Structures are given as C-alpha cells and as structure tokens.
C-alpha cells in the first residue's frame, strides 16, 4: 500500500506522520522546528525522523505544508510569518533532496481544505471552501473538484478581504480585514470593552483572557461572552457572503480554535450571511464545522501529495 510522509511545519514544532492512501495516520511524531537554523537543517531532521520510523512502510512521496505565501505549483515559499529567515526558499527542491522523495508543498490552509474536501466536511462536493479561525483567518478554495491556487498560488486569502474600511487595523497593515474583525484577538477585545464599560460578567479581564475562556463563559449564558462571539460571528457572516458571491460553494467548513465555539459563533454568522446574499437561492449553501481537527493540514498535505504525484 502506498504511503505518504506528511509534514506540517509550524513556528515551534514540526508535526510528522506517515499516512495511508485512505488518510489514516499509521505513524506520527513531533520534532522542534528550530527555524533559526534554516530550512535545510529542518529538512535534514525530517529525513532523520523518517529514517527512524519508516520500517515496514513503503513511503512513496511527501506532502509538506506551512503558513505563509506559497506557490504550490512550484513548491516555493515566498514568506512565512512563523519562519523568519526562510523567505524566498525553494522548499520542494530542498526537502526532495534530503528525503529522496517526490515532494508537494502548499499553504497550510490549502492543505487543510484539501483534507476536508477528500475526507471531512467537504466529502461528496465539487465546490467547497474551508476557513480556519484562530489567531489569523485563512481559507482554501476547491473549484470544480480542484484546489484553486490562482495566478501566483496565493488565492484563498479570505481573511484579508476588507469588510469595514474604518475597522481595526489588521496585522497586514490594512484596516477592517475579516481577520481583524473575527479572529481570536477581536473576540477578546470585544469582551474586554464590554467589561470595561461596566457590563457584569463571569469573565475577569486580564492578560490571560482567551477566546476559549469566552466560549466557555458563553456556553454558561454569560452575556458579555455571548455578545463578543455574536459580534465576531456577524463580521464573519459578511466574509461568508462575499465568499458565496465569489465562489458559489456547496459547503463552507469552518475550523480552527475559534470554531470550537460551534453554534455560538456559526449561528450569528449564518444569520448575518443570509441577510447579505443577493438572492435566497444562494442561501442553500451549508456552513458547518470542519471535521478533521488539528490533523487537517498534515493529512491534507499527504492527500494532496498523493493526488499530485500519483
């Protein structure tokens, strides 16, 4: 049975897995990224891990993902916020040389979208969009059964659509991006503002307050928490309406840590989206939670490698 090495490169750790054609993780592990040592040394450590764990597995190719601006057709990393010093790096050539395998490289959310399309919330569709909500907001687009990368491989940056030009500044430098309006930090900011205004809450303002804390309080009926999630959900709904108008998907799956709030954020998002669609026919799109959890990118990178190098 053909197997694939999945490599999910984060700023701190690299998640690794040997994945079957059916998407089953049969071996998994984690090694430190040590990004300051450079991409080639990371590739050397990945190759060493594979050598230690490949016994009994016929690994035929590798799928690699990381956050950032990547041309997946070339396997070229232009920039990653998590990997300083890796700018303008031919990751495919570098990892292929160390692993001795055909290698596919793509953006982490593109890979998560492909994983969900093949094995998760997008199964059975032909037109599908996957969003990840967390510290940032990313997206991957499947159009007519194929990953849509765009001209330079950078399509799907849905978090940087401007939905309120007078809104808060985003890390990209623009004001009012969806990411700045609906990410984890925005939820915390909404809750803190309400607490500072004197609204009673189960939450305690402070540096340790997280979106997860807010989701927990919202599940207990806390008004500040519920309003913070609803506000982010309404902003998310504007972004979803734009996505529907642009891509007309059958299903939009929402994953990432913030999506763990479930219907507390997705409910307001659907309501907001439906109110902004140009016709009711478009409202038949399903907005659901993603299914693969924190293995989506690694498994998706593996499935993308299987599809690309088969």
pLDDT in tens, 175-207: 999 999 999 999 999 999 999 999 999 898 878
The mean pLDDT of the chain is 94
Distance separating alpha carbons of residues 170 and 176, to the nearest angstrom: 7
Distance separating alpha carbons of residues 235 and 268, to the nearest angstrom: 9
Q: Is the pTM of this model over 0.85?
A: yes
Summarize pLDDT for 256-274 with one digit per residue, the tens.
999 999 999 999 999 999 9
User: Token pair for residue 151?
Assistant: 């001209």
Predicted confidence at residue 292, as pLDDT, reads: 95
The answer on pLDDT for 310 being more than 70 is no
What value does the mean pLDDT take over residues 201-221? 91
Predicted confidence at residue 275, as pLDDT, reads: 96
Predicted confidence at residue 204, as pLDDT, reads: 85
Distance separating alpha carbons of residues 90 and 97, to the nearest angstrom: 11
Q: Are 260 and 226 in contact (CB under 8 A)?
A: no
Predicted confidence at residue 40, as pLDDT, reads: 96
Confidence of residue 96 (pLDDT cuts 50, 70, 90): very high
- Kindly report the CA angle at 185 between 196 and 265, in degrees rounded to 5? 95
The answer on pLDDT for 250 being more than 60 is yes
Summarize pLDDT for 269-295 with one digit per residue, the tens.
999 999 999 998 999 999 999 999 999
Of residues 80, 117, 90, the one with CA closest to residue 297: 117
pLDDT over 70 for what percent of the chain?
99
Distance separating alpha carbons of residues 254 and 258, to the nearest angstrom: 9
Confidence of residue 82 (pLDDT cuts 50, 70, 90): confident
What value does the mean pLDDT take over residues 160-188? 94
Predicted confidence at residue 2, as pLDDT, reads: 85
What value does the mean pLDDT take over residues 168-176? 92
Distance separating alpha carbons of residues 109 and 255, to the nearest angstrom: 10
What value does the mean pLDDT take over residues 53-62? 93
Predicted confidence at residue 309, as pLDDT, reads: 63
Q: Are 217 and 190 in contact (CB under 8 A)?
A: no
What value does the mean pLDDT take over residues 72-91? 93
Longest CA span, the chain: 62
What value does the mean pLDDT take over residues 77-85? 91
pLDDT over 90 for what percent of the chain?
89
Predicted confidence at residue 162, as pLDDT, reads: 97
């Amino acid at each position: 049975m053909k197997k694939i090495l999945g490599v999910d490169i984060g700023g701190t750790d690299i998640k690794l897995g040997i994945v079957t054609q059916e998407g089953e993780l049969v071996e998994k592990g984690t090694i430190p990224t040590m990004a300051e040592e450079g991409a080639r040394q990371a590739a050397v450590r990945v190759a060493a891990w594979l050598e230690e764990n490949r016994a009994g597995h016929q690994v035929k190719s590798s799928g690699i993902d990381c956050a950032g601006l990547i041309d997946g057709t070339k396997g070229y990393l232009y920039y990653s916020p998590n990997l300083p010093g890796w700018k303008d790096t031919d990751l495919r050539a570098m990892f292929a040389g160390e692993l001795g395998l055909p290698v596919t490289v793509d953006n982490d959310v593109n890979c998560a979208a492909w994983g969900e399309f093949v094995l998760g919330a997008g199964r059975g569709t032909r037109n599908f969009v996957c969003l990840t909500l967390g510290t940032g907001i990313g997206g991957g687009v499947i159009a007519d059964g194929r990953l849509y990368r765009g001209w330079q491989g950078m399509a799907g940056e849905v978090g940087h659509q401007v939905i309120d030009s007078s809104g808060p500044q985003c890390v990209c430098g623009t004001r009012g991006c969806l990411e700045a309006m609906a990410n984890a930090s925005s939820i915390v900011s909404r809750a803190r503002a309400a607490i500072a205004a004197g609204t009673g809450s189960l939450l305690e303002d402070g540096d340790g307050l997280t979106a997860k804390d807010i989701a927990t309080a919202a599940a207990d009926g806390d008004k500040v928490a519920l309003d913070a999630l609803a506000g982010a959900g309404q902003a998310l709904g504007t972004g979803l309406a734009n996505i529907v108008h642009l891509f007309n998907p059958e299903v939009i799956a929402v994953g990432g840590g913030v999506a763990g709030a479930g219907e507390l954020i997705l409910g307001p998002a659907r309501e907001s989206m439906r109110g902004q669609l140009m016709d009711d026919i478009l409202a038949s799109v399903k907005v659901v939670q993603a299914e693969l959890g924190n293995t989506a990118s690694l498994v998706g990178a593996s499935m993308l490698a299987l599809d690309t190098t088969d």
